[in-house]
Structure 1
Amino acid sequence: MKVDDVYVDRDLALLRKHLSFLDHELAKVNTSIKRSADPESDGWCEAGEYFIGHGFVAIQRYLTVTHTTLKIAKSAALAVPPAAMENLTFAAAINAGANYWKHVEGWIEDLNNPKKGDLTKNAQKTIDDLEKITDWADYTCSNLLAYLGDSTELTLSKLLPIIIEWRNNLISQAI
């Protein structure tokens, strides 16, 4: 709903609150990383990855709620600008990051199982999209956030202006 020139977006308000909570936890992790002699062995890097991965899932849910409310197909919504890079939109990159976070352990299990072997078409597309930005190895979500946001400060809330731009572009397409 639009009032004057401002959208009333309850889902965005909830997402903003959720990302703020995750950023609070990420700030603690970042402080611990700076203080640690070996943050990887101490588990701080994995802790950061955990909160960032959950942030991507929350953003993915917002993208889904928004495009389904506007009755726009997922594939069309993920193609809406802004671009993260040539041939990959911000929405598609976030979607890939969220899917990676949710499914990577199963993909690794499938790849290590001689009876399964290859990844599904959707899993391979997710990895292909991610690999345009970062390897899908250690700290994929952190690397993706650094690329999409501010690499000097890994916070999920810094993505909100891009999310709002995507939403506004999507609404413009729906009208």
Structure 2
Amino acid sequence: MFLKADEEFIDYNFQLLSSLLKKLDDELTDINRLILSIDDPESYGLTDRGEYLIGVGFSAMQQYMTETLSMTGLNKNHALDIGPKHNKESTVISIVNAAANWWKHSAEWANQSEISNLSRRTQAKIMGVTNTNMYQLSNVLAELLGTSEITLSALLPSLALWRSDVDNHSQKHH
């Protein structure tokens, strides 16, 4: 939940998210350093560990988005289309949401004979960003940032812009 004084946001949850992402980024930096120094980082579980931490980060961002929306009255699906665009089809926020769902649910989807709507939408969104079957979350983060030097905190400005746009939309519709 946030407060707004004039045009400035007071957002304790954003501060908590920022702190968590910084800690995850520190760990990711250590993992990346080790990956570069080892011949076979997959055998050491480093790539899986990095993917796990990125999934935690995306899920924390999704939780922040849900908390932010809870006080606005905006429909979540509408709110996912608000904010900075990654490409002409998708906002950064909708991709973050899909990445969080991917991390939380993809293991469930592996053995399903019928694909749920959530699974179908999530897979389409992720594959629209990165068409790979390996380390999707790392690749999505790299694509969102446009660099191979990936940090979760680098998405905080997009989240702040989204929050501002959500607030503006909420003000217009209430």
TM-score, normalization by structure 2: 0.93
SS of the counterpart of 1:2?
strand
Deviations 1:7-64 (A, max 9, x none): 0001101100110111111011011101111112221111110100100000000111
- The answer (yes or no) to whether the contact 2:72–2:170 under 8 Å persists in 1 is yes
Alignment correspondent of 1:18: 20
- The answer (yes or no) to whether the contact 1:33–1:39 under 8 Å persists in 2 is yes
| 1:107 to 2:103 alignment | no
More displaced 10-residue stretch of structure 1: 141-150 or 96-105 = 141-150
Alpha-carbon distance, 1:73 to partner: 1.0
Q: 2:153 aligns with which of 154, 157, 161?
A: 157
| 1:124 to 2:126 alignment | no
TM-score, normalization by structure 1: 0.93
Identity of aligned residues (%): 35
Alignment correspondent of 1:55: 57
Q: 1:137 aligns with which of 121, 127, 133?
A: 133
The whole-number CA distance in structure 2 between the counterparts of 1:161 and 1:82 is: 10
Alignment correspondent of 2:36: 34
SS of the counterpart of 1:85?
coil
4+ runs of 1 displaced by more than 3 Å? none
The whole-number CA distance in structure 2 between the counterparts of 1:11 and 1:170 is: 16
Alpha-carbon distance, 1:150 to partner: 4.6
Q: 2:89 aligns with which of 82, 87, 90?
A: 87
The whole-number CA distance in structure 2 between the counterparts of 1:4 and 1:143 is: 38
SS of the counterpart of 2:129?
coil
Q: What amino acid is the match of 1:160? A: L
The whole-number CA distance in structure 1 between the counterparts of 2:132 and 2:78 is: 25
The whole-number CA distance in structure 2 between the counterparts of 1:136 and 1:102 is: 18
The whole-number CA distance in structure 2 between the counterparts of 1:6 and 1:152 is: 32
- The answer (yes or no) to whether the contact 2:35–2:46 under 8 Å persists in 1 is yes
Alpha-carbon distance, 1:5 to partner: 2.9
Query: Considering only aligned residues, what root-mean-square deviation do their CA atoms show, in Å?
Result: 1.1
Q: What amino acid is the match of 1:31? A: R
- The answer (yes or no) to whether the contact 2:58–2:96 under 8 Å persists in 1 is yes
Alignment correspondent of 2:47: 45
- Where structure 1 has 5 or more consecutive residues not aligned to the other structure, the ranges are 111-116
Q: What amino acid is the match of 1:108? A: A
The whole-number CA distance in structure 2 between the counterparts of 1:17 and 1:136 is: 30
